[in-house]
Copies of this chain bind each other. A is one copy, B any other.
Amino acid sequence: MRIVVMGGDGFLGSHFVDEAVKAGHAITVFDRFSGGHARNLEHQRGCVRFIAGEFANRDDVLQALRGQEIVYHFVSATNPATSWNNPFLEIEENLRHSVQLFELASKENVRKLVFMSSGGTVYGRQSGLIDETVLPRPFSPYGIGKCAIEHFLNYYHDHGYLTADIYRIGNAYGSRQPMHAPQGVIANWMARILDAEEIVAYGGADTVRDYVYVGDVARLLLQSVAQVSDAGIYNVGTGRGISITELLDIFGRVIDRPFRVRMEPRRDFDNPYVVLDSRRLIARCPGFQFSDFEEKLGETWEYVNLHYRKR
């Protein structure tokens, strides 16, 4: 299949590109490639086509879409922290430009669009294991934007014939995750440990997340290619909830270096409890098993030890 990966040089996107290349697909990566370099995909140079462009720019996006069968959409201009104080950024940068992408993809007769939504923010405050039939109650502009983008995919499905898969992904972690971003507690803590700074834990036993290994996510996302005419909404999480307190314990066992911790209350934009039921997705991926968290956390720590560069 001819697949274009929008934002494919990022954390999640680049892992997906690696999986898709392995599976034999013809991959185009659309990203900024500032300074002419890939952040995460230099090893794929020659194996995939790189298109440098701005997601906001219609002509750049159109160039990337031409002749493609499937579009994977990994671009996000915001995160829950940055969008918290600026809802207009969410509307103008994420929502508006995503809808522009869908409009262009419809016109270019793309067969399928695959959108990375957010299991951590679309549902809002819930308790217990969350499946896809739960009523979304997003309370951050980031989650509200993701939800509206999902709904616009319904519109384009109805209006033209653009089929879509939507993945509501939990807290992905693993190699290549930006280490000084406001999002991604595991990468953030590892960076601080390597910098010999104290780590800041927002929340404790009251703040529970579903951490999912990025390599697992990348493999699961490929099922959209196998079943190209189906449309669906899928959670991507392990179903195992880990509190901030437990995460600190696990860090203590896995990380072979001492670290100091400062406890802070949960931030306003943080959801207290997100644990995802992904049975709908797993049923479509026979034989799939989620990786062991402690094992992959250890591998991630080894990776960042080799590749970490100070700010």
Contact = CB atoms under 8 A, between A and B. Distances in A.
Interface string A67-91: 0000000000000000010011001
Interface residues of A, number: 32
A268 B140 CA distance: 32
A148 interface: yes
A135 B137 contact: no
Contacts of A99: 87-88, 91
Contacts of A96: 88, 91-92
B135 A155 contact: no
Given A91-B91, A99-B91, A152 B144 contact: yes
Contacts of A158: 139, 268
A133 B135 CA distance: 7
A95 B95 CA distance: 11
A157 to B, nearest CB: 8
Interface in A93-143: 95-96, 99-100, 103, 124, 133, 135-141, 143
A166 interface: no
Interface of A: 84, 87-88, 91-92, 95-96, 99-100, 103, 124, 133, 135-141, 143-145, 147-148, 151-152, 154-155, 157-159, 268
Given A91-B91, A95-B95, A138-B154, 16 more contacts: A88-B99, A91-B96, A92-B96, A133-B135, A135-B136, A137-B151, A138-B151, A138-B155, A139-B154, A139-B155, A140-B155, A143-B151, A147-B148, A147-B151, A148-B151, A158-B268
